[in-house]
Amino acid sequence: MTRWLTKEQQAHWRSWITASTVLHEQLSRELQEKHGLTITDYQILVRLSESENRANRMSDLANLTLLSRSRLSHQIDRMEAAGLVSREVCPDDRRGQLAVLTNAGMKALVAAAPDHVEGVRKHFVDLLTDAEYKALGGAAKKIADHLDGL
C-alpha cells in the first residue's frame, strides 16, 4: 500500500526541490557571470585545492564531486584546455591519472571564492536563524548518510 504524502509533507518536499534547484542555478549563474566558471568547475577547483599536492586521482575526484567518471573526464578536458588543471600519470599506479590544480586554477579559485561565499551567505546562510541552519544541516547529513549507504 502506498503511503502518500500529506499536504504539509508535499508542500515541504516541493519547497525543498525548488529551493535546492534554484539555489544551485543562482550560484552557478553568479560564478559564470563574474568569473567564467561553472559551479562544477568551482567544486573541482575547491576539492583539488584541499588535496595533498593540489592533486587527486580522477576516480577519487569523481566520488568527491558526485560526478560520473565520464562526466568528470569531459569536465577536466574542458578545464585543462582553459589552463585551470592538468592531467598527470599517477606515480604509484601508472594506469591511473591525477587531476592537478595549476597556478592559474588556484588564481581563479582565489578570485572567485569571496563572491561565491557572498552568494552562499546571501541566498542561503543569512536567510536562516542559527537554529534553522543547524537543523537543516543535521537533516541534510542524515539524508546524505542514508543515501551514501545505498
Domain contains 5: no
Number of folded domains that form the chain = 1
Domain contains 73: yes
Amino acid identity of residue 24, one-letter, is H
Domain contains 92: yes
pTM for the complete prediction?
0.90
Domain contains 135: yes
CA pair distance 49, 101, nearest whole angstrom: 7
The pLDDT of residue 144 is above 80: yes
Three-class secondary structure of residue 101 per DSSP? strand
Domain contains 91: yes
Domain contains 1: no
**How does pLDDT run across 45-100, given as a tens digit for each residue?**
999 999 999 999 999 999 999 999 999 999 999 999 999 999 999 888 777 899 99
We report the CATH number of the domain holding residue 98 as 1.10.10.10
pLDDT value for 94: 74
Domain contains 19: no
Question: Alpha-carbon Rg of the chain, whole angstroms?
Answer: 18
**How does pLDDT run across 112-127, given as a tens digit for each residue?**
999 999 999 999 999 9
Largest CA distance in the chain: 57
Question: Average pLDDT of 133-140?
Answer: 96
Write down the mean pLDDT value for the chain.
96
Domain contains 117: yes
83 dihedral zone (left: phi>0; alpha: psi -120 to 50; beta): left
